[in-house]
Chains A and B, each alone.
Chain A
């Protein structure tokens, strides 16, 4: 059996470049062509490893030539729902996302050699209304369908992919819906949001549940889909959930509740201050990450959603190595905390002794190996070794976390007196 020829779009971004590198190193894959409109940075190029790079804009019908010339049989549209890293890029993102997808699908349709298609989608299609069920399965429809923004683009893209599937039933189509991707290397509005220091604005009166998937798991899952035979939609998320306020505190910051109507104003004010170079003057240098755009992204988290990943485990056969909290901790390890856990503990002990009360025993320190592993790997960003090192340091923490939650309900984890298996999908153990 001859090897596969894979086309990966969007290789200037982390997930696509990492995926291209992994596939190029895989024995079943003959050739990997990474495509993007701009040249990738040296770090991304290094991650791509043996993959080739072709500078092509997928909005241009010439992408068809690339597919035909190389004899591509697998197309991975990994830039389909990636969040742009700046506010100015929003209109550009819509162009790339929607129009680019349409052209790419048209090219795939014309090409008789394409046999597999993987299109990256996002969990934002489920909407974020508080009236939605707490846990979204692949069949869940949003009660309030998003009408603008990234979510709308993703819904449109999924619609085009469905149409493509009907016109080319011989092509295997897989659509993974990712929750937020996080990790030490990837740059998204969410990572910028959590990097703000020392205060992070938060919509007052709301505390969204979020799930996260680690960047290495995201790339690994895409590779798994490419090399496997799964067809259909699948939710992708790390095990467990956390709330935005919890994440802010876990990263060593403090949450600043702001009425949600004022979030945009705060963002614009900070943007103006930064443009005027006055942020440092106001002592708010750490808050430069927050703009009106990030405010919109954060508000789109809404009431939060949690994904049911039974299909990911049972049908696709992939288990993310990092749980939500572990992925976040891995990301937070490279941030400088404004309020460290030690400071809080010291404050607790101080207050307790003033009141002449013996303080309770502290919680065990969060796993140090993650931090030291990253301290050394930080200088190797872009190397394909770094993510692997982190993931090998992680599994113990993941299993500890799983054991430390005896009574909490998690779709995948253990629950007290585990009840009957979820019908009708999985008959296996949870």
Chain B
């Protein structure tokens, strides 16, 4: 798997499991029962159910459940990744093999599917099969079913304490500095990066010495083209925005199906931060300069990828 070739999804690799049922990434072993294909999937699902019913799995301190992630969340997302959005992951090797790294991306698409697709890209197409730790908004963790599900997938609150904790532990952390401004922007503003906030993500990376990897995601803007935003309704429901797309709420629940645009996810050159002098994390000039540099890099590569993609749906 060389870094610059586009990857469309291979079959899910057979993975070794340690006694706790958690996946040991990067190692491929033949399955223990000698089965292949759909039979192996069935046996794997039964074994997964057994582990669930006996509580024979482990979670980490943030609530990340690798067993659940591997068997429930990632397979579902993989379908979307390979068949619906036909995602091409470019230069995945820019994500380091070990150690903490901060992935900074543009955010779009009304709901945070781009975050999930980035997670699949890093997990499946990086040689080290690293799980991506997403940082999510408060809203995600407040919601009843979605909150625990997000924790099990490895995401946690977008706050400095958690971000630094994960980076110090050597995890790849993904942050979307545009936040709700990015994901709720109207279709006419597509691919124009919104403001990056106070640059808190930069401070976290500088404080822990983790490299910053700019990531550009093309294709998420077209899945739910937002043509209007019903602010009063959003306020009533406590949401940051209430999107109106060509299919939602016109077609009701069918409007929840995203349009099958063609996606490209490119990982840029890592920007190192460990050479900066001590105390840089509190220096606004350093922080803003770095944040601007990241923003510029992402914006330029967005334009480049748009040219490369061509047609948004047939690209």
Asked if A348 and B47 make an inter-chain contact with CB atoms under 8 angstroms apart, the answer reads yes
Chain A nearest Cβ from B274, distance in angstroms: 9
Which residues of chain A from 352 to 374 have any CB-CB distance to chain B below 8 Å in the complex?
Answer: 352, 355, 357-364
Asked if A407 and B47 make an inter-chain contact with CB atoms under 8 angstroms apart, the answer reads no
Query: 1/0 per residue B277-297: CB within 8 Å of A?
Result: 000000000000000000000
Residues in B neighbouring A339, C-beta threshold 8 A: 53
Query: 1/0 per residue A357-395: CB within 8 Å of B?
Result: 111111110000000000000000000000000000000
Residues in B neighbouring A361, C-beta threshold 8 A: 32-33
A37 within 8 A of B: no
State A357–B161 Cα separation when bound (angstroms): 47
B235 within 8 A of A: no
Which residues of chain B from 29 to 56 have any CB-CB distance to chain A below 8 Å in the complex?
Answer: 31-35, 39, 42-44, 46-47, 49-56
Contact pick for A416, options B18, B46, B52, B98, CB 8 Å: B98
Given that A134-B157, A249-B54, A407-B24 are known contacts, is A419 also in contact with B165, CB under 8 Å in the complex? no
B57 within 8 A of A: yes
Asked if B60 and A410 make an inter-chain contact with CB atoms under 8 angstroms apart, the answer reads yes
B264 within 8 A of A: no
State A119–B54 Cα separation when bound (angstroms): 38
Given that A303-B141, A361-B33 are known contacts, is A409 also in contact with B58, CB under 8 Å in the complex? no
State A137–B47 Cα separation when bound (angstroms): 37
A contacts with B, residue count (CB < 8 A): 66
Query: 1/0 per residue A335-353: CB within 8 Å of B?
Result: 0000101001101100110
Asked if B169 and A360 make an inter-chain contact with CB atoms under 8 angstroms apart, the answer reads no
State A241–B63 Cα separation when bound (angstroms): 8
A415 within 8 A of B: yes
State A408–B18 Cα separation when bound (angstroms): 12
Query: In the complex, which residue of chain A has the Cβ closest to the Cβ of B148?
Result: A207
Asked if B34 and A358 make an inter-chain contact with CB atoms under 8 angstroms apart, the answer reads yes
B61 within 8 A of A: yes
Asked if B60 and A241 make an inter-chain contact with CB atoms under 8 angstroms apart, the answer reads yes
Asked if B21 and A363 make an inter-chain contact with CB atoms under 8 angstroms apart, the answer reads yes
Contact pick for A246, options B57, B142, B169, CB 8 Å: B57
Query: In the complex, which residue of chain A has the Cβ closest to the Cβ of B42?
Result: A357
Asked if A248 and B55 make an inter-chain contact with CB atoms under 8 angstroms apart, the answer reads yes
Query: In the complex, which residue of chain A has the Cβ closest to the Cβ of B156?
Result: A134
Which residues of chain A from 127 to 159 have any CB-CB distance to chain B below 8 Å in the complex?
Answer: 130-135, 137, 140
B233 within 8 A of A: no
Given that A135-B162, A411-B165, A419-B170 are known contacts, is A360 also in contact with B61, CB under 8 Å in the complex? no
Contact pick for A130, options B20, B59, B141, CB 8 Å: B141
B187 within 8 A of A: no
Residues in B neighbouring A304, C-beta threshold 8 A: 63
Chain B nearest Cβ from A43, distance in angstroms: 30
Which of B42, B148, B157 lies at the interface centre, i.e. has the most chain A CB atoms within 10 A of its CB? B148
B145 within 8 A of A: yes
Asked if B141 and A209 make an inter-chain contact with CB atoms under 8 angstroms apart, the answer reads no
Query: 1/0 per residue A7-28: CB within 8 Å of B?
Result: 0000000000000000000000
State A405–B157 Cα separation when bound (angstroms): 23
A418 within 8 A of B: yes
B19 within 8 A of A: yes
Residues in B neighbouring A345, C-beta threshold 8 A: 50
Asked if B148 and A409 make an inter-chain contact with CB atoms under 8 angstroms apart, the answer reads no
Query: In the complex, which residue of chain B has the Cβ closest to the Cβ of A243?
Result: B59
Contact pick for B157, options A131, A246, A254, A401, CB 8 Å: A131
Query: In the complex, which residue of chain A has the Cβ closest to the Cβ of B129?
Result: A407
Asked if B157 and A249 make an inter-chain contact with CB atoms under 8 angstroms apart, the answer reads no
Residues in B neighbouring A420, C-beta threshold 8 A: 168, 208-209
Residues in B neighbouring A252, C-beta threshold 8 A: 54
Which residues of chain A from 104 to 125 have any CB-CB distance to chain B below 8 Å in the complex?
Answer: none
State A210–B106 Cα separation when bound (angstroms): 34
Chain B nearest Cβ from A323, distance in angstroms: 10
Asked if B54 and A250 make an inter-chain contact with CB atoms under 8 angstroms apart, the answer reads yes
A-B contacts, 20 of them at CB < 8 A, read A133-B159, A205-B144, A206-B144, A209-B63, A242-B55, A242-B58, A245-B55, A246-B57, A250-B56, A325-B58, A339-B53, A347-B50, A348-B46, A357-B35, A359-B47, A360-B32, A360-B47, A405-B58, A407-B24, A420-B209
Report which B residues bind A (CB closer than 8 A): 18-22, 24-25, 31-35, 39, 42-44, 46-47, 49-66, 98-100, 131, 138, 141-142, 144-145, 147-148, 151-152, 156-157, 159, 161-162, 165-171, 207-210
Given A131-B141, A243-B148, A404-B20, 15 additional A-B pairs, CB 8 A: A134-B61, A134-B165, A135-B162, A140-B161, A241-B63, A246-B57, A325-B58, A347-B50, A363-B21, A407-B25, A409-B64, A415-B169, A416-B170, A417-B170, A420-B168
